[in-house]
Chains A and B, each alone.
Chain A
Amino acid sequence: MALARGRPAEIDWSLAHRRFVDERYLLYPAMAGVFLLLVVFILFPILQVIQRSVAGPEGVTLANYARYFTHPRIASTAWRSLWVSGLSTVLTVSLAFVFAYALTRTTIPGRGLLHTLALLPLVAPSLVQALALIFLFGRNGLITARLLGADVNIYGWHGIVISEVFYCFPHALIILYTTLSAVDTRLDEAAESLGASGWRTFWTVTVPSAKYGVMSASFLIFNLVITDFGNPKVIGGDYNVLATEIYNQVSGQQNLAMGSTVSVILMIPAVLAFILQYYFSRRNYALISGQARPFLRPTRRGAARAFGAFCWLVCAMILLVYATIITASFIKLWGYDFTPTLRHYRFEASDGWQVLWVSLKISVIGGIVGAIFSLLVAYIVEKKQPPGARLLYLRAVIPAAIPGMVLGLAYIFAFNRPGVVFYGTIWILVIANIVHYLALGVLAGIANMKQIDRSLEEASVSLGAGVLMTFRRVLFPLSRVAFVSSALYFFMTSMVTISAVIFLYAPDTKTAALSVLLLDDAGEAGEAAAMSTLIIAVILAVFLLVRLLLGRQGFKLIRG
């Protein structure tokens, strides 16, 4: 290993020279380009927000911050955000850990299906998910009121936590699944053959070896929850958190300065979470060995039953939410008139199917461009580690710490100027979506790069291949699966995202997910459900298409 990690012992100087030239003419300009793009599309817009939070009539002022912290109830939104995010994180990560453990370390039947089902929440606009939860568990919910006859109040912090767990579960699962399937299971076997009980092995070997994965997932989820605005808005009742306070300020009171101030306050814990996440994810992958060899002995019957029951229960809940959305789209009126109908799909109250086409365009372009860009960033950060790589990484992940609504505003501040040709076209939406979800793309890309043993790249270089050739012939084929999964990830998020789009869409670029929001606004719940069903159908169809084109192997790691 030592040899592989270091430089080859003897270097042919002509090859070394070639490598040097390659780096100078290809890598450095590419890096400069990436840096520039990140400055223009991330740093610059964020600075615009910060600037608005401190701009006073006479120069720089901290008056807005003073106002925030002296208003006792508004200041409490920070604590509420921390509480809701912390609790959701603990719950989500615990559930996802057990689930990932069942998928990777047990032999319960139907693991492939369970895995696919568990990731389903990724393909629906989160707004509809929260609405479906109310349909099911609200005060007049199908389950709570009609079946159980209970008067349950889902609105409030507990409602937020429940819907956030739903929303974040697949994200945590992706990380923990990767972690648990990459950690060498031979350690577990060794522990067991040394006489340790199952529990003891679990607590002394499995958990410690996955602990950085757990930390990494935790910070990611914390971040997702604290910046999420949709779920608290729909199901939070009058429990105000930071993200909804931004909405109160910006949309309710048209106070962009105060909205910017609260955004900056929100960015502090969110960015902090990402810095810690970075730290832990580096540790995590240091434990992953390229030679990890998953081998599973059949799980004991009792344990298999318990794990099976748990997993199917989780998936049943997820399916229930989906069934609710789809059913609501095919019946006259949820809760009162269950006569089947297709009329919602005529979209008489809106501009119809065209929005779906716009979404498809934005999402396919976003998927491809996003995947290329995030892999490029991951490659530079992970494989090249130039001076300032950490800064590069930090810049790439900061947008995840910004609520979509604020990103949308920041983009108006930054790019709504004469001469900016892409403003008002679908490209501004493509860019905003990529930037908003870049963090996860880059994280996944880094994870992938780490799994490619450096020795392969070095072998390629010492055989005389340049950077470009190495990237094309070695790294790209090995990252192909990561590329596809990353492209699908950007595709999916672009299809379902709403918050940044609200401020950036132009008359010709209204998206399907936005249409869901507007239909729901107008009281057209049936049509909103129908549009959501179409979005889900399109995403699944694209997944299927990719699978057909690339075969089973290409699809397998979409989940990973």
Chain B
Amino acid sequence: MVSLRMTTVLAALMVGLLALFGSGAGAEEVVVYTSLETDEVVEYLKVAKKDMPDLDVKWIRLSTGDLGARMLAEKDNPQADVIWGWAVTNLIPFAQQGLVQPYAPKGVERIPAEFKDPKHHWVAIDLYMAAFCVNTEMAKKKNIPIPTSCEDLTQPAYKGEVVMPNPASSGTGYLQISSLLQMKGEQAGWEFLSRLDKSIAQYIKSGSKPAKMAGAGEYVVGASFEFVCAKLREKGAPVQLVIPKEGAGYELEANALMKGAKRPAAAKRFLDWAISENAMREYAKWKAGVTLAGMPQPEYLPGPLNQILYRMNFEWSAANYGRVVKEWEKRFLR
């Protein structure tokens, strides 16, 4: 008899569950893939809802690499209409492979030329920069000075106390070494990285992880990017954000229209909104810098952007990716 009872329970469960599946939405829909952080996206989309009440934004958030792999795998039948806030270094080769189509959103002329593709494959909205996340408590305990530059990290005091992302698996890792190679020139750059290698405890697979490890006190210095560190500090971790004196490498986060987008009209509406004044103002509440002039800058940065950033050449970064990563693996992969 127990079996009868169980069969009934199972049947009831199945019927109940099947009943859950019908759901429809009447509004215009757009599917967005993004690497912006979830908590930001939730706030941005509140603004979007106010500005475009009839647009239903469906979205997915994944790390830069995972999202790229997903788009690449889906390319024969793209599920997304729009890429929103995704690393330009990754976007450039995607544009070359024809995964995105050109579109000049309304108001794109307000964005300076250095932040957009001349052929309108992408428009950047914000940037994040390479930064050290230093655990002050551990530094004090281990009697290690707070570093101020990349050069500092090559000193023996930091041996085994620095974690850095692996450029073969992390976009942040690549931007760090790419900026150093551009800054110092290739030969001096590699030579510097060899010296730095002696201090590195681990090359980690994700770009935000070094900051989190420093935050947790596992290592003193995490070479990561600025807002993770700022956020950890906000949560109460004893960390200090250090922008390297040499100038910080940075990454632009950009928008693009997917080739084969199934809802092109809605996608274009969203892309127009995504560089609008309202959107930019909201980005500026979270980001180190936005691409529209005249927006406020977060207090945690030590100075105006044009003084703390190293001017990156993204075309170089994208064009030399394969070669640089291979060279890096040859020299430093453990």
Contact = CB atoms under 8 A, between A and B. Distances in A.
A364 B216 CA distance: 36
A240 B202 CA distance: 11
B62 A502 contact: yes
Contacts of A247: 169, 205
A11 to B, nearest CB: 29
Contacts of A554: 2, 6
Nearest to B171: A252
B61 interface: yes
A138 B216 contact: yes
B334 A239 contact: yes
Interface stretch (B72-80, B120-128, B263-271, B288-296): B72-80
B208 interface: yes
Interface in B1-34: 2-3, 5-6, 9-10, 13-14, 17, 20-21, 31
B169 A251 contact: yes
B218 A416 contact: no
Interface in A225-262: 233, 237-240, 244, 247-248, 250-254, 256, 259
A482 B119 CA distance: 61
A186 B17 CA distance: 48
Nearest to B232: A523
B325 interface: yes
Nearest to A362: B17
A528 to B, nearest CB: 11
Nearest to A252: B169
Interface in A404-448: 409, 412-413, 416-418, 424-426
Contact of B325 (A140, A253, A349): A253
Given A233-B205, A417-B76, A523 B65 contact: no
Interface string A491-512: 0000000000011011110100
A503 to B, nearest CB: 5
Interface in B40-78: 42, 58-63, 65-66, 68-70, 72-74, 76-77
A247 B166 CA distance: 12
Contact of B208 (A332, A506, A507, A523): A523
Q: Which of B2, B13, B70, B170 has the most CB of A within 10 A?
A: B70
Contact of B13 (A256, A364, A484): A364
A61 interface: no
Contacts of B60: 505-507, 510
Interface in A345-372: 348-351, 361, 364-365, 368
A518 interface: yes
B208 A503 contact: no
B218 A139 contact: yes
A368 B58 CA distance: 29
B77 A522 contact: no
B6 A549 contact: yes
A216 to B, nearest CB: 29
B301 interface: no
Interface residues of B, number: 68
Contact of A256 (B9, B69, B217): B69
Interface in A462-476: 476
Given A138-B218, A240-B333, A254-B69, A522 B236 contact: no
A335 interface: yes
A524 B79 CA distance: 28
Contacts of B201: 155, 237
Interface in A62-110: 71, 73-74
A199 interface: no
A332 B235 CA distance: 8
Contacts of B203: 238
A335 B216 contact: yes
B219 interface: yes
Interface in B216-269: 216-219, 228, 231-232, 235-238
Q: Which of B73, B74, B93, B231 has the most CB of A within 10 A?
A: B73
A554 B2 CA distance: 9
A332 B236 contact: yes
B69 A251 contact: yes
Contact of B236 (A138, A333, A524): A333
A470 B55 CA distance: 56
Interface string B86-113: 0000100100000000000000000000
B38 A522 contact: yes
B10 A254 contact: no
B204 A518 contact: no
Contacts of A239: 334
Question: Contact residue range for chain A?
Answer: 35 or more
B211 interface: yes
Contacts of A333: 235-237
A134 B216 contact: yes
B3 to A, nearest CB: 5
Contacts of B138: 140
Contacts of A140: 138, 216-218
B73 A549 contact: no
A480 B231 CA distance: 51
Contacts of A321: none
A56 interface: no
B310 to A, nearest CB: 23
B275 interface: no
Contacts of B14: 365, 368
A521 B65 contact: no
Nearest to A553: B2
A247 B80 CA distance: 22
A503 B73 contact: yes
B166 A252 contact: yes
Contacts of B277: none
B170 A252 contact: yes
A526 B218 CA distance: 17
B205 A254 contact: no
B317 interface: no
Interface in A494-548: 502-503, 505-508, 510, 518-519, 521-526
Contact of B65 (A135, A251, A337): A251
B31 A521 contact: no
Nearest to A244: B205
B236 A337 contact: yes
Contact of B68 (A251, A351, A425): A251
B39 interface: yes
B329 interface: yes
A506 B69 contact: no
Interface in A127-165: 134-135, 138-140, 145, 155
A155 B74 contact: no
Contact of B17 (A233, A365, A553): A365
A-B residue pairs, 10 tightest by C-beta: A252-B169, A140-B217, A251-B65, A507-B58, A349-B39, A412-B73, A237-B202, A248-B169, A238-B203, A73-B333
Given A417-B77, A550-B5, A554-B6, 16 more contacts: A138-B216, A140-B217, A240-B333, A247-B169, A256-B69, A333-B236, A364-B13, A368-B14, A417-B76, A476-B3, A506-B79, A507-B60, A521-B63, A523-B208, A523-B215, A550-B6
23 contacts: A73-B329, A73-B333, A134-B216, A138-B216, A140-B218, A238-B202, A238-B203, A253-B321, A253-B322, A254-B65, A254-B68, A332-B236, A413-B73, A502-B66, A506-B58, A507-B58, A508-B58, A519-B38, A522-B37, A523-B215, A549-B6, A550-B5, A551-B2
